[in-house]
Amino acid sequence: MKKTVLWRMMAALLVVIFMMTACTPAAPAEPAAPAEPAAPAEPAAPAEPAAPAEPAAPAEPAAPATGELQIPDVVEGKYNAAFVMLSVHDDGGWSQAQYDGLRYVMEKMPDVNAAYIENVAEGADAEQVFRALARKGFNVIFGGSFGYMDSMEVVAPDFPDTYFIHISGYKSNSTNFGNLFGAMESMKYLAGMMAGSRAKMDGETKIGYIATFPIPEELRLGNAFAIGMRKTCPECTMDVRWINTWHDPVIERQGADSLFDAGAHIVYTGADTPAPALAAEARPGKWGITYDWSGSCTSDSCLTAPYWNWGPEFVRVITGLQDGTYKVGWDYFDVSTGGLGIYGLMEGQEMTKGQKELPEEDMKMVKDTLAKMLAGEFTRFDVFAGPLKDNAGNIVVPEGEKMSQSDLDQFPPGAPGLECKYCMRFWAEGVTAELPQ
């Protein structure tokens, strides 16, 4: 009995202790004190960094879409233009030239909302982006790479109220899908003239070309350069390295080094980065010619840079779309429009070190030809006027004849309805490479 009473007393005591302990956990509410670390909400003071948001104020053309394939929004009450770019907007080449053109649009056309998406791969990714932008309600979409052509062609019929302007290429439905490009072959021709002059002056004869993809555009630009090269250096030859990329700093540098190692005195490029000039810097006495962007030719080893001036062309196209005067189709502008440049020789520019040293008679020929181009008296078709031979000695264009736009744009036989007569399927005299397969 005593044991029973004792056990009952002990059990009661345990119950009391348990109840007291059960209440104490409220004390652990003190850990809520760690909520004081919320006091670090003082770092909210760093909310001052909100000041950096001010740079966003410049609406930097497309801060809304930064390369993560985020689709920007349209702005009500404005004409909405989207620009889709293959690489980053500050790549120092092709995309940066387009980005500068976009900024020009924003400066000159306050009624236009311009946005961009960068790093969009060709193919399925591009098609998805074009569809997403059209669904958002953009009035016009510019596709900034040759490889976007087929994707735009597929998407355009599904969005008849949106204009799709493909930069480069040769396809159009003549309603809401067209292409926009310019006579860069004329600038490459002038660069070739200066390269030939430089090589001849330095007692050299070999020049190298970093080519991207085996498409008519790259043969066209390479041939224009070679034709210009032979104007000032008939004995000069041109070697070629295909790199199969538009933008890859490592591969472009390897291509430049390969050409220099093979004996090239000057290397120029069809890709984005200033790799030829950078490689030339490491080889005193050698020269590089950059491409696409006017800001790419900065070192003393850079002879010149053929470049794009997209701003005026974008404004022209958008203005025409707004007022209904722009005809969607095949829009290929020439030097006389101001959409193209050759670094060191355009108004307001100082000649590069390498240009200043060239023979006076050669530079006079280059400057006179540029003046005729700007006046519309010498066009891209004059670059490819006959008699024109290939590198096997065969006549490609006979005397008195000139290539047409279909010839410049395409391999034989050409697109249905745009068949080419001479076609861009040859290497010009002086090119030592084989035609790509």
Predicted confidence (pLDDT) per residue in 105-133, tens digit: 999 999 999 999 999 999 999 999 999 99
Per-residue pLDDT at 246 exceeds 80: yes
Distance, in Å, from the CA atom of 196 to the CA atom of 190, rounded to the nearest integer, reads 10
Question: Across residues 75-95, what is the average pLDDT?
Answer: 94
Q: What Å distances lie between residue 382 and 124, 369, 411, CA to CA?
A: 39, 11, 20
Range in 59-73, 94-108, 142-156, 222-236 with the lowest mean pLDDT? 59-73
Distance, in Å, from the CA atom of 425 to the CA atom of 207, rounded to the nearest integer, reads 21
Structure tokens, 109:
């056309």
Say what the pLDDT of residue 60 is.
54
**pLDDT band, residue 415 (cuts 50/70/90):** confident
> Which CATH homologous superfamily contains domain 79-182?
Response regulator (3.40.50.2300)
Architecture of the domain delimited by 184-307+344-409: 3-Layer(aba) Sandwich (3.40)
Please report the pLDDT score of residue 29 as a whole number.
37
SS (H, E, C) the chain: CHHHHHHHHHHHHHHHHHHHHHHHHHHHHHHHHHHHHHHHHHHHHHHHHHCCHHHHCCCCCCCCCCCCCCCCCCCCCCEEEEEECCCCCCCCCHHHHHHHHHHHHHHHCCCEEEEEECCCCCCHHHHHHHHHHHHHCCCEEEECCHHHHHHHHHHHHHCCCCEEEEECCCCCCCCCEEEEEECHHHHHHHHHHHHHHHHHHCCCCEEEEEECCCCHHHHHHHHHHHHHHHHHCCCCEEEEEECCCCCCHHHHHHHHHHHHHCCCCEEEECCCCCHHHHHHHCCCCCEEECCECHHHCCCCCEEECEEECHHHHHHHHHHHHHHCCCCCCEEEECHHHCCEEECCCCCCCCCCHHHHCCCHHHHHHHHHHHHHHHCCCCCHHHHCECCEEECCCCEEECCCCECCHHHHHCCCCCCCCCCCCCCCCCCECCECCCCCC
Could you read off the pLDDT of 300-319 as tens digits, one per residue? 999 999 999 999 999 999 99
pLDDT tier at 28, thresholds 50, 70, 90: very low
pLDDT at 199 over 80: yes
The per-residue pLDDT for 70 is 86
Q: Which tops the pLDDT comparison, 277 or 91?
A: 277
Q: Average of pLDDT values for 225-229?
A: 98
Q: Which residues make up the CATH 3.40.50.2300 domain(s) of the chain?
A: 79-182, 184-307+344-409
pLDDT digits (tens, 9 = 90+) for 342-382: 999 999 999 999 999 999 999 999 999 999 999 999 999 99
pLDDT at 417: 85
* Pairwise CA distance, residues 287 & 200, whole Å: 13
Q: Residue 407 above 70 pLDDT?
A: yes
